[in-house]
Amino acid sequence: MFQGFESFEVRRGDVRLACRISGGGQGEPLLLLHGHPQSQAMWNRVAPALAQRFTVVMMDLRGYGDSSRPAPGEGSVAYSKREMAQDALAVMRSRGFERFQVLAHDRGARVAHRLAADHPQAVERLLLLDIAPTLGMYANTSEAFARAYWHWFFLVQPPPLPEALIDADPVRYVRGVMGARHAGLAAFAPEALAEYERCARIPGLSTGICGDYRASAGIDLAHDREDMAADLVLPVVGQHLAVLLAVVPAGKAEVVELQVDVEAAGGRLHRADALGHDFLADAVAGDDGDALLAHGVLLKNARASASTSWGASSAR
Please provide the CATH number assigned to the domain covering 5-312.
3.40.50.1820
**What one-letter code names the amino acid at 16?**
R
248 vs 313: CA distance, rounded Å? 18
DSSP string of 217-260, one letter each residue: TTHHHHHHHHHHHTT-PPP---SS-SS----S-TTSEEEEEEP-
pLDDT band at 231 (very low <50, low <70, confident <90, very high): low
What phi and psi values does residue 171 have, to the nearest 5 degrees?
Answer: -65, -40
Of 302, 282, 304, give the one whose Cα is nearest residue 294.
Answer: 282
Select the more confidently predicted residue: 196 or 263. 196
Q: Say if CB 7 and CB 18 are below 8 A apart.
A: yes
Q: Find how far residue 233's CA is from the centre of its chain.
A: 17
Q: Over the stretch 99-129, which tens digit does the pLDDT of each residue have?
A: 999 999 999 999 999 999 999 999 999 999 9
Domain ranges of the chain: 5-312
59 vs 208: CA distance, rounded Å? 15
> Does residue 266 carry a pLDDT above 80?
no
Q: Say if CB 20 and CB 1 are below 8 A apart.
A: no
pLDDT at position 48:
94
> Does residue 302 carry a pLDDT above 80?
no
35 vs 279: CA distance, rounded Å? 14
The listed range with the strongest mean pLDDT (26-30, 206-210, 287-291) is 206-210
Angle (CA) 302 90 49, round 5°: 70
Of 35, 60, 248, 69, give the one whose Cα is nearest residue 151.
Answer: 35
Omega into 160 within 30° of 0, i.e. cis? yes
